[in-house]
Amino acid sequence: MVASSFIYEIKLDRFTFLLNGLNGCSDIIQSSLWEKVKKGKYMNFYKNTIKDLKDRKFIFEDKNEELKLYNDSSTKLEQRLFQDKRRIISINISEDCNLSCPYCISSKRRSQKMLSKAHIDKIVALLNSFEKKYNVIPRITLFGGEPLMLRNRHIFEYLIKKIEGTKFKLHIITNGVTIDKYLDLINENSDKFQFFQITLDGPPEIHNRTRISKKYPKTFKLITGNIQRLLDLNFKVRVRTNLNKASLEKLPKLARFIKKKKWDKYKNFRGNMGLISTYQLKFCKNNPRSNSVKYIKQFRQLKKKHPELSLYNECDLYTQADKLITNSLKDKTNKPMISYCTTINSRHFTFASDNQIYNCFAAVGIKDFSIGTYFPKLKWNKNNLAIWKTRVSTQMDKCRKCPLVFVCGGNCPLHAYEKNGNINKPVCAGGIKDLEAFVKLNKDKILKKAGIYKKR
């Protein structure tokens, strides 16, 4: 018998955590026993353990058995991805913005172009026709730029009227500066809004340094007033705080502000955290890595001193790594895929003001991410669509032999494009290293989940 080539080992005291990249399972085993297993030394009194390892594909009779499982898994994964008819919809009214945040992902691609009523007519008509062809998720994300700029109001109002009588609801990602100027429209059409995501980067001394522009030099008071208005009208509001070293240190002060306002008592309020790191700065967060364990450690230390931080969930800081580990310990079989970018198989349609349909709302303005033109007529870009058909980890040389080949999906294609000029030359972004750091950080929780402490 041979040990799988797709197992990632992490030492936890005298135990070894094994993550099986082929099927998403994990296990905890005594390190000394695992070393013997890898060398093919099986003792009779270990036969139940050996059987379990074999059943869960940690060991194989030979490499051919492993190769067959890999090929079968690749086929099933690609079928699942390429036969998935779900489509996520975004609309960029404009890439223009009324703020100049230093970490903005769209700042280099700013454009004064904006949608017209004719654009909205075409978009809504296409969405209605797509319902027959695709499984369209009934949520339209309004992104930008800033979707609620004052000059966009007539288009925003027209869009609301056009989706009247449809199943679509709006998810607004906004900086919150001009919500008070839109509140009459929003309140009159309350059934059309799913939730609002608004950013507060910390208390005033932090927020007013990052969420700024010449017209709006200090936005904390303005934005928090608008958040209060939405909460009082019973709209769901997610308040996102982008963290770096300075803002993390001031997070308790922001939490105290929220507590004083009693926002945490509203059922329609939720506080979220995100990281401003080299990765998080420019690219989406759909990957299984822990992002930055040092921030998790600092957050936990702060939380001990500041219980008001309990309104935040630390899972925001490591995206789906916790879900991966927790699920992998549960059952004998598990799906290893936890987060694949929606650009695969062009499952994300972003309608932009330059007449293009983009594969990713963070990539508006990048021609290689355009999968077609929707205005004045729909015309798919067959060359780009073909490229995105092959953008899967099992078809990329750098990923094929990686233990996380079925887990991270080749990471963010926008990251690969901006760093390497090619979506099929992935940037690992420290995925394995950070996943290992996350497992070690949560060692006690993982060992307890596996029942190790009970055996001691």
Domain ranges of the chain: 2-79, 88-286
Report d(CA 289, CA 17) in Å as an integer. 16
The answer to whether residues 393 and 338 touch, using CB atoms and an 8 Å cutoff, is no
Between 80 and 259, the higher pLDDT residue: 259
Residue 314 Cα distances to 10, 291, 326, angstroms:
22, 12, 15
What pLDDT, on the 0 to 100 scale, is given for residue 280? 38
Task: Read off the pLDDT of each residue in 409-419 and give the average, rounded to a whole number.
Answer: 85
pLDDT tens track for 273-292: 987 654 333 434 444 444 56
Q: Encode pLDDT of 114-161 as tens digits.
A: 999 999 999 999 999 998 888 999 999 999 889 999 999 999 999 999
- CATH code of domain 88-286: 3.20.20.70
Q: Are 319 and 287 in contact (CB under 8 A)?
A: yes
Structure-block tokens of residue 276: 């401003």
The two structure tokens encoding residue 102: 């230093």
Q: How far apart are the first and last CA of the chain?
A: 30
pLDDT, position 266? 97
Q: Residues 113, 94: contact at Cβ < 8 Å?
A: yes
Helix (H, G, I), strand (E, B) or coil at 191: helix
Backbone φ/ψ region at 368: left (φ over 0), alpha (ψ -120 to 50), beta: alpha
Across residues 444-451, what is the average pLDDT? 79
**CA nearest neighbour of 346 among 378, 375, 376, 384:** 384
**Cis amide bond preceding 376, omega within 30:** yes
Mean local confidence (pLDDT), 199-205: 95
User: What pLDDT, on a 0 to 100 scale, did the predictor assign at position 320?
Assistant: 58
pTM: 0.88
Q: Which residues pair with 152 in a beta bridge?
A: none
pLDDT of amino acid 278: 41
- In this structure, the number of other CB atoms found within 10 A of the CB of residue 246 comes to 14
